[in-house]
A and B are shown apart, each in its own frame.
Chain A
Amino acid sequence: DQQVKQNSPSLSVQEGRISILNCDYTNSMFDYFLWYKKYPAEGPTFLISISSIKDKNEDGRFTVFLNKSAKHLSLHIVPSQPGDSAVYFCAASAESGNTGKLIFGQGTTLQVKP
């Protein structure tokens, strides 16, 4: 029973273009969502988060959009850079304030080509 799903295992984009990573969830109790980036041989690194009371959060080149009615969120990276090439995980929490107890998606491998 996958409560958080990232249906695209991989994504390839050209440097300078937009990368859009998608995530769907099934549990309506989720109230906080996060995106993590992971390089090989490293732990996940926090990128950006969004509370369920918002529909958009922006931080530099990264923007996360939340559509609660569709139970869908997306991460936009503009412009994409080769250093963004990594595995991206969407994660959700059902305990507001407890960001250590997360349900993760399977991950999407992003490749940004120079």
Chain B
Amino acid sequence: ETGVTQSPTHLIKTRGQQVTLRCSSQSGHNTVSWYQQALGQGPQFIFQYYREEENGRGNFPPRFSGLQFPNYSSELNVNALELDDSALYLCASSLAGGNTEAFFGQGTRLTVV
């Protein structure tokens, strides 16, 4: 069991709405990465935060944004939700430069109707 916790676990939103997902990182980890996992696919990298700054971004539009706080926890915000945004959103925490594995949370299942 990892120390990475995500909230909420499930969420239903209407197309066009905005959503905020939260992640608390593992103790001692300073980097948080967010992934989107569509049904039947592998997780896709959205972006990473290190020292409260975005440190790399995958192929996702600007309506996907994030924050990292001084305690290393993080938020993922998605504006103008689309039906295709329905997915499992995973947060992973890791230690920069440690070459140790990233630990994942259990994910937030977002359904857009």
A-B contact count, CB below 8 Å?
74
B contacts with A, residue count (CB < 8 A): 31
A interface, by DSSP: helix, strand, loop or mixed? Answer: loop
A100–B33 contact, CB under 8 A?
yes
Binds A, one of B11-19, B39-47, B78-86: B39-47
Q: Indicate which residue in A96, A100, A103 contacts B48 across the interface (CB closer than 8 Å).
A: A100
A102–B45 contact, CB under 8 A?
yes
Chain A: interface size category: 20 to 34
Neighbouring A residues of B94 by C-beta, 8 Å: 98-100
Neighbouring A residues of B56 by C-beta, 8 Å: 101
| Residues on B facing A (Cβ under 8 Å) | 2, 4, 31-33, 35, 40-45, 48, 55-56, 90, 92-94, 96-107
